[in-house]
Amino acid sequence: MSGNPNWIDYSTTEMADSKHFYSELFGWEFEDLGEEMSHYHWIRANGQLLGGAMDVTGMKDDSGEQIPSYWQVFLSADDAQAVFDKAVAAGARPLYEPTGTGDIGKYAIVLDPTGAPVGIWEPGSTKSDEFTGAVGTPAWFELMTQDYDAAVKFYSEAFDFDEVRMPGDFRYATNGPGESSAWGLCDAKGMTDEAAGSYWRIYFSVEDCDDAVTRVRELGGKLLDGPMDSEFGRIATVADPVGASFQVIAMPSA
């Protein structure tokens, strides 16, 4: 579905350590595409293509500092250039102009008006499989925003976000109703440190949240928050050994 997450991208300052961590934690397989593709790696879980990983060692940000390790969410686009243009018109700041990667696809990255980087991915010959929430794969995506109204306006204009509000006073909306939705938009003002700004979260499905947290620690990662129970499952926020944070969620039994 256009506007839903269809690719995840991982930047790391320690490729070998990161590959070991995620292979042991989730059972992922990594495929090095070689020098021609700057040693970009496909990431697969039980044969399912999830996204890719890149070594950013030595790469600097705008302030001249080493780019940190982090996870990036990409949203689906039938036409990356058209969506990029809509995003910029809606107030986004361009970070990477639409760029083709041969017949693999075309990508772009913008900074949304609330400060969260978001990717645009127009798949070509290489498509990630639909994210179904199988163990070891993404189960949910979430934008934690410091400006809920501005975020809803932007994602509605640029990515056709279909705001379906959850009941109650807390402002949280999904992109469409029920099981058709793949991501949510959360009013994080007052919930998270404003200095951290707005950012995307990726929730990876695990069989047992507490066991996953134990394994994260054994592999050199850290527990940042939780585990805690929710109506959607038991959740924890963790970081890998190079500092990239993500969520693990054990979905409730049917």
- Cα distance between residue 151 and residue 230, in whole Å: 24
* pTM score of the predicted model: 0.94
Which ranges constitute the DSSP H helices of 92-208? 148-159
- Cα distance between residue 88 and residue 200, in whole Å: 19
DSSP reduced 3-state for 57? coil
**pLDDT tens across the length of the chain (254 residues):** 678 999 999 999 999 999 999 999 999 999 999 888 889 999 999 999 999 999 999 988 888 889 999 999 999 999 999 999 999 999 999 999 999 887 788 999 999 999 999 999 999 877 666 788 899 999 999 999 999 999 999 999 999 999 999 888 889 999 988 777 899 999 998 877 777 789 999 999 999 999 999 999 999 999 999 999 998 899 999 999 999 999 999 998 75
Measuring CA to CA, which residue among 92, 197, 71 is closest to residue 138? 71
Measuring CA to CA, which residue among 107, 113, 108, 121 is closest to residue 90? 113
- Report how far apart, in Å, the C-alpha atoms of 99 and of each of 2, 84, 105, 245 are: 19, 11, 9, 27
- Residues in CB range of 134: below 8 A, 6 or more apart: 45, 46, 48, 205
Q: Which structural domains are found in the chain, ordered by start?
A: 5-123 (3.10.180.10), 138-250 (3.10.180.10)
CB neighbours (10 Å) of residue 237? 18
- Cα distance between residue 218 and residue 216, in whole Å: 6
Contacts of the segment 171-175: beta carbons below 8 A, 24+ positions apart:
175/3, 175/4
